[in-house]
Amino acid sequence: GTKKKAACPGLGLFYTILSAFLFSVASLFLKKIEDVHSVEVSAFRCVFQMAFVLPGLIYYKTGFLGPKGKRVFLFFRGFLGSTAMVLLYYAYQVMPLADATVITFTSPVFTSLLAWIFLKEKYSLWDLLFTLFAVTGVILIARPPFLFGSRVAGIEGSYSDHLKGTVAAIASTLSAASTIVILRKVGKSVHYFLSIWYYAVIGLIGCVIALFVLNEWRLPHCGRDRVFLILIGLLGLGGQIFLTKALQIEKAGPVSIMKTMDVVFAFILQVLFLNHLPTWWTVGGALCVVASSSGTAIRKWRHSVKKAKQGEI
């Protein structure tokens, strides 16, 4: 592993950029789908996850349920992770691509807050400042009428849909942050593949139940939409693989900072393929959120480096 790092020192960051690009293109295809509910798209994504993880579970002989003491945590990891995916896909469908992407980048800030509440991790004044920056960014993107007036520019469709998308994106971010806290609680006692397995199985079951309740289960009529569904599954899987590989050979801090390329790609794809120019409010909100998430990542990175040096001494 050390030789590989020396031979190609920027490989982990390249994997992160490639992961961000694949996730962004998958989001673009989601915006292009016209006749498929976000829950159904999520169900297809879960099927791809299961098909990828199943051979790994068999190879590593991890079983399908996991250790008895960890199954409750794995269940909530799967439930919250799949809920985050469904809500995010809904947000992508009803609001501008860049706006939804930016809101998801508040996840590191909320992770720090939840880790302070449930895991008793340290929460400093800097973390509070980054949280306020993130909230400011979300407000600039949501642009509530009582602050910005009744005429809100730069949104897709009605303001009601924009508000629903904002709420869904925030709820998705909180669910994703909760998932990370649960994974920290579980630690390395559960194999990574088993964690994804719970995510995919519980997500698929939940999506199928929701589709029958909503009466939204149907195959897309257009052949293009079917191709987009397959591509979303493949690109989402590829993005997750490259992000995992990046975290295996690079520190989490630089990866978290480089992952902000998601926002850059979202803005570029929105302008080029959706013909939707972001407003200055969105740009301002993006700068606030990116500064917040980058600051959080840098602080965590510096803390881990300092702790490692103390361990060596």
Supply angle C-alpha 101, 232, 16, rounded to 5: 55
The separation between CA 61 and the C-alpha centre of its own chain, rounded to angstroms, equals 28
Is 2 inside a domain boundary? Answer: no
Phi, psi of 277 (to 5 degrees): -80, 130
pLDDT digits over 236-251, tens only? 888 887 887 786 677 7
| CB contact burial 11-44 (16+ within 10 A = b; e otherwise) | ebbebbbbbbbbbbbbbbbbbebeebbbbbbbbb
Domain range for 90 is 11-310
pLDDT exceeds 50 at position 5: no
SS3 125: helix
The separation between CA 312 and the C-alpha centre of its own chain, rounded to angstroms, equals 34
Q: Cβ(115)–Cβ(281) under 8 Å?
A: no
Is 3 inside a domain boundary? Answer: no
For the entire predicted model, the pTM comes to 0.81
Given this model, what pLDDT does residue 4 score? Answer: 43
- Alpha carbons 94 and 166: distance in angstroms, whole number: 9
Number of domains in the chain: 1
- Alpha carbons 34 and 18: distance in angstroms, whole number: 27
Is 278 inside a domain boundary? Answer: yes
CA dihedral sign of residues 188, 194, 195, 196: positive
Q: Which amino acid is at 91?
A: A
Is 150 inside a domain boundary? Answer: yes
Is 47 inside a domain boundary? Answer: yes
Given this model, what pLDDT does residue 152 score? Answer: 65
Given this model, what pLDDT does residue 253 score? Answer: 64
pLDDT exceeds 90 at position 53: no
The separation between CA 79 and the C-alpha centre of its own chain, rounded to angstroms, equals 15
**Closest CA relative to residue 177, chosen from 41, 39, 301, 83:** 83
Is 182 inside a domain boundary? Answer: yes
What percent of the residues of the chain are helix, what percent strand, and what percent coil, each to the nearest 5?
80, 0, 20
- What angle in degrees, to the nearest 10, is found between the helix axes of 11-32 and 71-94? 60
pLDDT digits over 177-195, tens only? 888 888 777 776 777 778 8
- Alpha carbons 107 and 293: distance in angstroms, whole number: 8
pLDDT band at 168 (very low <50, low <70, confident <90, very high): very high
- Alpha carbons 208 and 277: distance in angstroms, whole number: 36
